[in-house]
Amino acid sequence: MNSLVRLETFLVLVECGSYTEAAKQLYCSQPTISNHIRQLEEQLETVLFHRNSKRLELTEQGQILLTYARQITKLADEAAAMVKKSTLQQDRILSVYVSNYISEYYFSKILASFHQRFPAQMLEIHTYCYNELRHFLMDGKSNFALLPLYLEDEQLHAEFDYIVLFEERFSLVIPPNHHWSSRKLLYPRDFDRQTILLPQSLYLCQYMKKQLAQHNIHIRYLQMSNFSTIKQSVRAGLGISFLPDAVIQAELEQAQLETIPVSGLQLKRKNGVILRKQQQLTEAEQAFCNEVQAFFHAKNSSPHYANEQAFSRARV
């Protein structure tokens, strides 16, 4: 560290052009400045300043040192800043990566519960689609994330373990004025020549298409950006769709959408926590994962959740 101090003294002296001004700027005595320069010259076994000049001028060796001294002190400052940032993140800030879907429909209650139990813990919430979350996980930017679980993603599941938080059903959604509104039950053959709206999720689209392809029917698929856009498009009569019950709960209560059961066709998806294999979570990460598991365990077993499911079934 003494070498850094001497280099900083050297840089200030070059900038000021005077031992007296350098001493004032560094809040030390002029002999201290002279001593630091002498020690640098002894260390490097060279002369850094022309002694016979009226002005403070660098020798050729001094010019070389100036170039590297600037780089060294800059790197030292950057290193100190990064260490400080890392310490703050480790001690105080917890970064949580979560899917847009879980964030929108479940996270407000989870965050409120976590903050109540750990009021001093600061959080950074990063919400992304599945593909982006997958990218961050594979690049090592996070050791865990909350997202849909697609076992077909073999590469991700080769490097990560997972804990299932909840399983959800996808219900067939139609607008209230649809010609199927009077039907109490549909059959896969009814989908022939129909337009089904899908989200821009590779694995979810593959799963839905695979389930429908088993019935040898011709379907036109259109992709929308997200569940919210799909709901708006269904209401506008642009097509029909299969959506998670949590997504359409408000629209069902307000009679803006309707659902109909389909005989022999059940679309389900699991959501959970992805954890990097053989990687120990920090205390804060583990506490957050525990809180999330406790939240969904309570939700899945609560009478209110059972009533929600009963209401959804009644609508269909």
Judged against a pLDDT cut of 90, whether residue 272 lies above it is answered with: yes
> What's the mean pLDDT in 259-271?
94
> Computed over its alpha carbons, how large is the radius of gyration of the chain?
32
Judged against a pLDDT cut of 50, whether residue 222 lies above it is answered with: yes
> What's the mean pLDDT in 159-181?
95
Choices 3.80.10.10, 3.30.1330.10, 3.40.190.10, 3.40.50.300: CATH for 168-268: 3.40.190.10
Judged against a pLDDT cut of 90, whether residue 314 lies above it is answered with: no
Check: CATH 1.10.10.10 for 2-89?
Answer: yes
pLDDT tens-digit map of 226-244 = 999 999 999 999 999 999 9
Domain boundaries, the chain: 2-89, 93-166+270-315, 168-268
Judged against a pLDDT cut of 80, whether residue 125 lies above it is answered with: yes
Q: What's the pTM? A: 0.65
Is there a shared CATH topology between the 93-166+270-315 domain and the 168-268 domain? yes
Domain covering 93-166+270-315, topology: D-Maltodextrin-Binding Protein; domain 2 (3.40.190)
pLDDT for the residue numbered 300? 84
